[in-house]
Structures are given as structure tokens and as C-alpha cells.
Amino acid sequence: MKYSAEINKRKTFGIISHPDAGKTTLTEKLLLFGGAIKTAGAVKSNKIKKTAASDFMEIERQRGISVATSVMSFEYQDHLINLLDTPGHKDFAEDTYRTLTAVDSVILVIDSVNGVEEQTKRLTEVCRMRDTPIIIFINKLDLEGRDPFDLLDELESHLNIKVRPLSWPINRGKSFKGVYNLHTHDLNLFEANKTKMSTEVVSFEDLNNPVLDEILGADADQLREDVELVDGVYEEIDREDYLSGKIAPVFFGSAVNNFGVKEMLDTFVELAPTPLPRPSTIGLIDPYQEKFSGFIFKIHANLDPNHRDRIAFLRICSGKFERNKFFHHTRLNKEVRFNNPYSFLAREKSRIEEAYPGDVIGLYDTGSFKIGDTLTEGADYEFQGIPSFSPEIFREVINTDPMKSKQLEKGVRQLTDEGVAQLFIQQPGSKKIIGTVGELQFEVIRYRLNNEYGASCNLVPKNFHKACWITTSNDKQLDEFIRLKASEVAFDKDDNPVFLAPSAWMLQMAQENYPELKFHFTSEFKTSSEA
């Protein structure tokens, strides 16, 4: 296994959270520990607090081709850590779901005041579909948040995962005193400090040591009681159970005060998986196999009209990527090579000569990539498991400038290939229906069609409830369904039939009337996603 030393060094993960739980703040602190940045405040939030397209455009313009914030690589201890950024805004959830296909584990941030929130649930569901290992960071302990035991109960019941605290908070809010590390038996005393790591750590193998009372006063007994309860109620972490996504270690802290973050990072590098195998059309692709492979999970457009190229993000799954070497683009059945591949170490975008499994690199693209495309060293297979999820808002594209119909066609195709939205084609007449999870994307689409392609259109609302991918072994029943429901059936980018159900009730009726058709809320067709 030629590249095993390189592979074993790497940990590729993402941070997920409901907006405002503290993802950006935690990212910054992790980069601080990794030496990738020197001072706090260096990570510009890329989230969009207001749902205005103009804000989004402004942020995108400022970011321009500098996509360094999409991947942040840093070294910590002997590890090379690749942190993939996920957009905070809920309208871009689909982008986050896809990024999750390129990570090997996640850190989930929970706001201790709000507990489990809507996006927390959705994102965890996506992780659970792939059994992605999860570490949980309960943040904002400096605020008057909820009782830690209640929070743990809520995590277990709402997220369908077992939890095991590895650190325990001593009080919270104004009287927050610190955390006790249940793993290393260290007591870490809280001091609000936004730029440095906390240093006041006292080792307490035995919590009955009277020094604990001197330090914590009346809180010492409460800590003893809590720790006894935790040890009695929660089972020990079994690494295999963590790796298969069954149990999540939990840490408590305050990201903005840089507190409790190092404990979590140290455990993360110890527990989190090195690059994992990925499912493909020919079975699992092992990262240690010598032949190169990888897939595109994100495409970042350049909004500067003078530089129309895009950057495609490639997750390397096996073998070694080399600059200027020919690789096989399996969808196009074409050999391609890259003169200027980029990596993002220490937030510097720099040209690389080679890269290994777990790495994410940026490739300049002039339009030959779609989300989900596979590159190999010659073999003909494709990576799987980069699903589309049912959009929630649908609009039909009506051309308003007949002279520019070609441009509109091209623009809609390219934007949907980039994953900005999903495209469904409806017959007769090849009507284009665009589906998104948020209103913001429609503004982005309209703006970009106009600015980048010179096309203009109306986006007419369609009253569909969900898009459900249809599978069956009864082709006759499918044909009949497609014929009778022509106005509610469309085809996705890969020509799979999709039922655009007008309402939950109509979906239920279809299920009852066509028992041999299966309707799925994601294009991955897992039984768990069945409607």
C-alpha cells in the first residue's frame, strides 16, 4: 500500500449546525489551534444573515475566485486536517448535503440555549443516511442555557443517535466555572478569552480529592454527583460504534471564548476516521488502492464576467492525483488533465503537484464538470451516493426574450449542473421546471442568467408539494402512470421519472392506486427515504 503513510495522516470533516449555533466561530478557533490563522476575527463569515439576493451577490463577488473558505486545510499534531465549509443559510442546504458526501466525519454544533433546531435535525438525518461519524459540541455554555442532561436527552430522542459526554460542564451562564474532561480526568477552568487557548488545567484522577472543594466550592459536590450519574447512565464510547455513526461523543464549551475546543479537537484527531472507502457502481473503492479516483461534489462559479471559468472541487478517494497527468472523465469518456490544480493549506490557495485520498482540490473548469462526475486512472465506474433531495419550491422557466433562447437553455443547464437548483423537464414541449429549497436561489438564478448569459426569463410559481423519484419493477404500471399523470410527471437530469406531487394527499392517493410504484424523496433510492 504505497500511499498509506499519506492517507493515515489525513482527517477530512465538516462542521454542521443550525445557523447561529456557532459554526463560523468554532471553525475560526480550530484554525487558530492549527496555526492556519494567527488572530481571531480572521475568518470572515460567509453566511448570509438577510435573505436578500443582493447580499448574496455582494458576498459572492467579494469572494470572487478566491474560494479558500470552501476548504481549509491545516496541520495539527501529526495530522493533516481538511475542514470543508458548509453554507450556513438554509436555502443552501442542498449544497451542504453534497459537501457531506465528501467528508469522513462531522462535528455538530448545538446552541445550549436552543438545543436541537430544525436544521440540526435535517443535517443529522443526512449524516445518518450514510452512517457518518458525529462528534457533538454543545456551545455557548457562558449563556444561561438548558440543563445538560435535558440537552443530552433531546439529542438522543430528536436525532436518533446515542450520545456519550466526554466532558462535563460545571454550572453555566454567569456562574459557568469550566469543564471536567471525563476522558483525561482534567479540570479545565473557565476564563473568557477570545484569542488564546485556556491554560489553567488541573488533573483530577480522583474527584474526591479535597482540593476540588477548594477550587470549586459548593459546585464540587454537584460535579461529583453529575459525573457519577453520567458514568451510570451513558455507556462507554466504543470506537467502532462511533465510526459506524451509532454513538456520538459530546463536548461542552464556549467557542467564542475558545473554551472546551481543544479538548474536542484532541479527541477528534484521536477518534475521527482517516479517509474511508466510497461506494461506486463497481462496489466500494478502497482509499488504499493504488489507482487514482475521485469525484466532484461542488462547483463554484466565478461571478466576474471577465473570468468565466469555474472551480470544481474534487474529493480524492484513492491513489495519487498528479498535476498534468491524464485522468479519465468517466461520464464524458474523455481523458483530461489539469495544469493548475489548487489546494488550500493554511488558507493559502497554492498550486499543487500531487494530492492523496481525503484531500480536496480545486480544478479550473470551463464547463466540462457536473456535480457527481468521477475521475479515474482509466477504469470505467462512477461514484454513487451524491443524492438530490426533493426540492420544496418549484417554478417554470418562461423565456421572455425569444432572441436569446439558446443562451437561456445553456444558462439553465450550466447553473443546474453546478447544483444551484434542480432541473426537471416536462413533456410535451420540454418545459423546464426548476426546483429549489429556498427562494434565494431563484433570485440568484435570475441574476446570473441575466449577468452571465444575457438571458431573461419569468419564473412562474408551480404549486407542487414535493418531487418524488419513481422506481418500479412493473414497467407497465409506470408507463400508465406517466401517461395519465402527464402534467405532474417530469424527468430529472439523468432522465429518471419524477412525480411532482401537487399535495401530500395526492401523493398518498398515487401510492394507494399504484402499489407497485415506489416514490422516493431523494434520488439515492434508499428505503429509508421512501415517501
Q: Where does this chain bind ligand G4P (CB under 6 A)?
A: 17, 19-25, 45, 47, 88, 139-140, 142-143, 254-257
CA distance 64 to 473: 47
Q: How far is the CB of 83 from ligand G4P (least distance, A)?
A: 13
Q: Which of 354, 346, 370 is nearest to 83 (CA)?
A: 346
CB 104, min distance to ligand G4P, A: 21
Q: Is 16 left (phi over 0), alpha (psi -120 to 50) or beta?
A: beta
Whichever of 143 and 507 has its CB closer to ligand G4P, that residue is 143
**Nearest approach, Cβ of residue 47 and ligand G4P (Å):** 5
506 Cβ contact list (under 8 Å, min separation 6): 465, 488
Nearer to ligand G4P, 24 or 414 (CB): 24
With a CB cutoff of 8 Å and minimum separation 6, the contacts of 529 are: 129, 520, 521, 522
Element at 336 (helix H, strand E): strand 334-336
Q: How far is the CB of 66 from ligand G4P (least distance, A)?
A: 19
Q: Contact 258/29 with Cβ under 8 angstroms?
A: yes
| Shortest Cβ 111–ligand G4P spacing (Å) | 8
Shortest distance in whole angstroms from residue 96 CB to ligand G4P: 12
Q: Least distance from C-beta 40 to ligand G4P, angstroms?
A: 10
**What values do phi and psi take at 244, rounded to 5?**
-95, 15
C-beta of 386: minimal distance to ligand G4P in Å? 24
Q: Is 353 exposed, middle or buried (0-12, 13-18, 19+ CB in 10 A)?
A: exposed
Q: Which CB, 174 or 476, lies closer to ligand G4P?
A: 174
CB of 158 to ligand G4P, least distance (A): 18
**Would you say 127 and 134 are in contact if contact means Cβ atoms under 8 Å apart?**
yes
**Which CB, 86 or 414, lies closer to ligand G4P?**
86
Task: End-to-end CA distance of the chain: give it in Å, rounded.
Answer: 43
Residue 290 φ/ψ, nearest 5 degrees? -70, -30
CB closer to ligand G4P, 177 vs 395: 177
Which residues are CB-contacts of 254 (< 8 A; sequence separation ≥ 6)?
139, 140, 141, 142, 176, 190, 260
Q: Which residues contact 24 (CB under 8 A, 6 or more apart)?
A: 43, 45, 46, 47, 88
Provide, rounded to whole angstroms, the least separation between the CB of residue 372 and ligand G4P.
Answer: 27
**Residue 61 CB neighbours (<10 A):** 11
Sign of the four-CA dihedral 126, 369, 345, 104 = positive
Between CA 484 and CA 463 the distance in angstroms is: 19
Residue with Cβ nearer ligand G4P (88 or 497): 88
Closer Cβ to ligand G4P, 151 or 498, answer by number? 151
Nearer to ligand G4P, 147 or 479 (CB): 147
- With 0-12 / 13-18 / 19 or more C-beta atoms within 10 angstroms meaning exposed / middle / buried, residue 306 is exposed
Vertex 234 angle, CA 206 and 159, to 5° = 140
Q: Whose Cβ is closer to ligand G4P: residue 67's or residue 501's?
A: 67
**CB of residue 68 to ligand G4P, shortest distance in Å:** 17
Q: Which is nearer to ligand G4P, 20 or 75 (CB)?
A: 20
**Nearer to ligand G4P (CB atom), residue 268 or residue 327:** 268
Say which amino acid occupies 89. Answer: H
